[in-house]
A and B are shown apart, each in its own frame.
Chain A
Amino acid sequence: MSTNIKLQSNVAKSSILDKLKSQVKGADYSKLPAEPSYQYPQLSKEQQLAQFIGHLQANHAQVIQLEQAQIAETVSNELKDRGIKKLLYGTQAAHSAHMAELDADINTDISAEVFDFNLAGNKEKLFNDTPASITSSRAAIAATGSIVLWPTVTEPRSLSLVPPVHFVIVDAERLYATFATLIKEQQWQDKLPTNAILVSGPSKTADIQQTLAYGAHGPKELIVLLINS
């Protein structure tokens, strides 16, 4: 970084902070009014699950309830229905072995590939030659029908973003009532990943005459594989 830019920024920083500080010097934080928070009705696990599914479906996501062992078969069927023969997945996830089996299964012509390459140098492939992907998720939020993605070294960020069809595995055991309770219970403030994302449906836009269209830039379809045992 050039020294010019740094110098310029430092001058601006002290000027801005001086102006701001002179206005709130000696402010007594202990006198800040108490902030109210709304007490939402407590829902049972079943109600939360229904709420979660309802919101996702209202947002045009497809939700399939299944058991862990059925993942490969379900994915295979859904891909077949769409005429898709390629699937990209991450390594070392709970479902990775199932995907490897799917790839090896001689009864299907689906080729499942592992995302073990750097995006740089492989952008064309990911954008133009990867019709579907599958990822895991870290948690889910009932109140808004949101799925928390927590990309890692083995499940890169673009895996859930670039392919037009995104399968995401959600464990009903990890369903939280609200975003606020999730942050609190998992102590997010202590450690956040490079990129955490809440996803609540397929990519969409209403930018042309308020008409909703799906598949703006990201996935056109979000297929939620909800494991509920």
Chain B
Amino acid sequence: MAAQQLDPNESKYAASARNFRDNVKRDLGNQELRENFRGAMDYLVDKRKNAFPDGDELETLREQCKLIKQRCLLKLPHLLEQLEENLQANGIHVHWAETITDANDIIAQLIAAKNGKSVVKGKSMVSEETALNDYLEARDIECLESDMGEYIVQLAHQHPSHIIMPAIHQNKKQVADLFADNIDGFAHTTDVDALIGEGRRVLREKFCQADVGITGVNFAVAETGTLCLVENEGNGRMCTTVPDLHIAITGIEKVVEFLDDVPPLLSLLTRSATGQIISTYFNMISHPRQSGEKDGPEEVHLVLLDNGRSQAFADEELRQTLQCIRCGACMNHCPVYTRIGGHAYGTVYPGPIGKIVSPHMLGLEATNNLPTASSMCGACGEVCPVKIPIPKLLQRLRVESVKAKHNGEPVMKGEGSGRKSIEAAIWQVWSIMHKYAFIYKTSMWFATRLRKLMPNKIGVWTSVRTAPKLAPQTLHEKVQARQNQQQYKQLQGGK
């Protein structure tokens, strides 16, 4: 199967994730970029805070939504079958894909079957994951992003730097320059209303002409066979209403059991993401155009993508990764993301969620730097609306990344790829030292006495810090000395 040939199927994001350290250096040095992120993150943190005035409500909702997602994951295979059955009964076609290439191929074939030449896209991170635009453009199908942020990013030949606000790394002046370079007849302005007006003009023409609309899905309801989309702009509605063919693509973890599961999840999603009590539009699609209806697509298709999700599913701890509803709150509150920005990660999903989900999609070999890029401050876990223990999962992935070879079933693709023999040897020695008191005491005695031999320069550590110095005596020795002294005093006093 195609999945086994590594190269042709490897995501372009694997290569950029491998360059994580260089990317970080590049982006930390970019003052404008850092200001753009700082401003945006402060804004989003503030918005979220104001959207949850009642702490009790927030905590009850988080517990409820965590349990909803955990229930849906426990029943996942069953719910996926039920979803397919109900969608089909509603007239919506369902396709399954294990790899990104398979998903892209299915979509290309669906478009070809309708002789489609132009596609308008609603915002879909899963289609970013599959690099669908590249795939379709290589087949002469024009593929235009219609979410304003995505449109900007596409014009700039970039990919989103944030899962909710894709163009957050650009300020209005940069957007104005971009429009001036790319849109004929655009009168340069940094007025945001005028910029959005220009995007509206260009994109409405495209909505009017496009053969195909492609979108993601926020919740797929198994009980009713319904695809739910959350959005503010109306481009999602355009893509799902105006063209004759609508193709939705989503990850297998987006299915929920009941329609009743949707309201609490929706409430937490929009409030956690942008601080809105609800998005402007909540779009629920259950059928293609039915007899007598005057608009809407003649055909609706759903592509269900695995791409490493079943690997995360196979481990009970890592399965919690799949609870994610893609609100982006973890990145908004992350001190690392705020400083390095979304592109430094090199992956489709940046920030804390990206660090725990990307290793399943791209393999740990390409991503083993990511779980280490955390100060373990725990903010991501605290704000996560579905209570994913992100810091814990980061620690777990660090362990997987340096795991020794073993004969059992591998937990993850690329596990152990970050293992360095010298590091492993150091920990081996550490472990022995701590197992036997005599060895521990002796080696500590020597370490403290020979402390002058410690080098002053220890790689990257001392590039911005002074080298640590060992104390002349161990704590054990000091305490022992103190106790001896006290005993001596007592003895003296007792005389």
Q: Which residues of A does B touch, CB under 8 Å?
A: 1-2, 4-5, 8-10, 12-13, 15-17, 19-21, 23-24, 27, 29, 32-33, 35-38, 40, 55, 59, 115-120, 123-124, 127-128, 143-146, 151-153, 156-158, 161-162, 178-180, 183-184, 188-189, 192-211, 213, 215-219
Q: Which residues of B contact A215 (CB under 8 A)?
A: 196-197, 200
Q: What are the interface flags for B126-152 relative to A under an 8 Å C-beta threshold, 1 for contact and 0 otherwise?
A: 000000000000000000001111001
Asked whether any CB of chain A lies closer than 8 Å to the CB of B25, the reply is no
Point out the residues of chain A lying under 8 angstroms from B292, CB to CB.
153
Check A12 against B97 for contact (C-beta < 8 Å): yes
Interface positions of B from 98 to 142, Cβ below 8 Å from A: 98, 102, 105-106, 109-110, 113
A-B contact count (CB 8 A): 274
Q: Complex formed: what's the CA distance from A161 to B241 in Å?
A: 9
**Pairwise interchain contact A179-B97, C-beta atoms closer than 8 A:** no
Encode contact with A along B251-281: 1 for CB under 8 Å, 0 otherwise.
0100000111011101100000010011111
In the complex, how many residues of chain B place their beta carbon closer than 8 angstroms to a beta carbon of chain A? 105
CA distance A215 to B193 in the complex (A): 9
Most buried by A among B80, B279, B293: B293
Closest Cβ of chain B to A163, distance in Å, is 11
Report if B327 contacts A (CB, 8 A): no
User: What does the 1/0 interface line of B210-229 toward A look like (CB < 8 Å)?
Assistant: 00000000000001101000
Structural contact, B287 and A210, CB atoms closer than 8 A: no
Give the dominant DSSP class at B's interface: helix
Alpha-carbon distance A152/B172, docked complex (angstroms): 40
| B264 CB contacts on chain A under 8 angstroms | 37, 180
Chain B residues within CB distance 8 Å of chain A: 36, 39-40, 43-44, 56-57, 60-61, 63-64, 67-68, 71, 74-77, 80-81, 93-98, 102, 105-106, 109-110, 113, 146-149, 152, 165-168, 170-172, 175, 192-193, 195-197, 199-200, 203-205, 207-209, 223-224, 226, 232-235, 237-238, 240-242, 244, 252, 258-260, 262-264, 266-267, 274, 277-290, 292-296, 304, 306, 310, 313-314
Is the pair A180, B263 in contact by a Cβ cutoff of 8 Å?
yes
Shortest C-beta distance, B92 to chain A (Å), equals 10
Q: With A120-B244, A144-B277, A207-B147 as given contacts, are A19 and B263 in contact (CB-CB < 8 Å)?
A: no
Q: A157-B295, A197-B237 given as contacts; is B74 within 8 A of A24 (CB)?
A: yes
Q: A38-B64, A161-B238, A215-B196 given as contacts; is B279 within 8 A of A12 (CB)? A: no
Question: In the complex the two chains form, what is the Cα distance from A31 to B80 in whole Å?
Answer: 21
Contact of B43 among A117, A180, A203, A210 (CB under 8 A): A210
When the two chains form their complex, are residues A216 and B200 in contact, meaning their CB atoms are under 8 A apart? yes
Give 4 new A-B contacts, CB below 8 A, not counting A153-B293, A217-B207: A32-B67, A37-B64, A146-B278, A194-B287
A210 CA to B147 CA in the complex, in Å? Answer: 14
Q: Which residue of B lies closest to A143 (CB)?
A: B277
Evaluate contact between A179 and B233: CB separation under 8 angstroms: no
Q: Are A200 and B294 in contact (CB under 8 A)?
A: no
Decide: A217 and B204 in contact? CB cutoff 8 A: yes
Most buried by A among B39, B109, B277, B290: B277
A-B CB proximity, top 6 nearest = A218-B234, A207-B149, A119-B295, A216-B233, A203-B234, A144-B278
A209-B102 in contact given A13-B96, A180-B260 (Cβ < 8 Å): no
* Complex: A189 Cα to B279 Cα, angstroms: 22
